[in-house]
Amino acid sequence: MMQRLLDEEVVTADDRRRLQAMGVVLGDLLAEALDMHWVIYEDQVGRSRALRYRQSDNYLFPATMVSRRREAGDLTPVQEIYDKAVGIIRPVQEPLPFQ
């Protein structure tokens, strides 16, 4: 559905608020799939909403995953963005027993 909104230009590259809302939806999907939770990430630059894997130092920043790409003219499909994020976190996850 998100890809369709982008493809049909219902949400455009200059609509940062809606693009970031799409990123939050993407983040909720990632959180569910990867056992992650939303946190406020703070560094010297400021505060950002992020997904954190358990108590590790492994974070994703889905709120801007779509918006930053679109604003830069990058048309990477939403599924590819999702798959890349999964590929970053899966290797650091503890294996489930009996797999």
Specify the DSSP class assigned to residue 94. P
Residue 77 in domain: yes
**Does residue 59 fall inside a structural domain?**
yes
**pLDDT score of 89:** 97
Locate 80 and state its tokens: 């590819």
pLDDT of residue 91: 94
Domain that holds residue 84: 30-91
Asked if the structure places residue 71 within a domain, the reply is yes
What's residue 67's pLDDT?
Answer: 97
Q: What is the pTM assigned to this prediction?
A: 0.90
Alpha-carbon span 55 to 49, nearest angstrom = 16
Count structural domains, the chain.
1
Assess if residue 18 is contained within a domain.
Answer: no
Listed in sequence order, the residues at least 6 apart from 19 whose beta carbon sits closer than 8 Å to its beta carbon are 11, 13, 66, 67, 70, 71
Residues 6+ apart with CB under 8 A from 76: 69
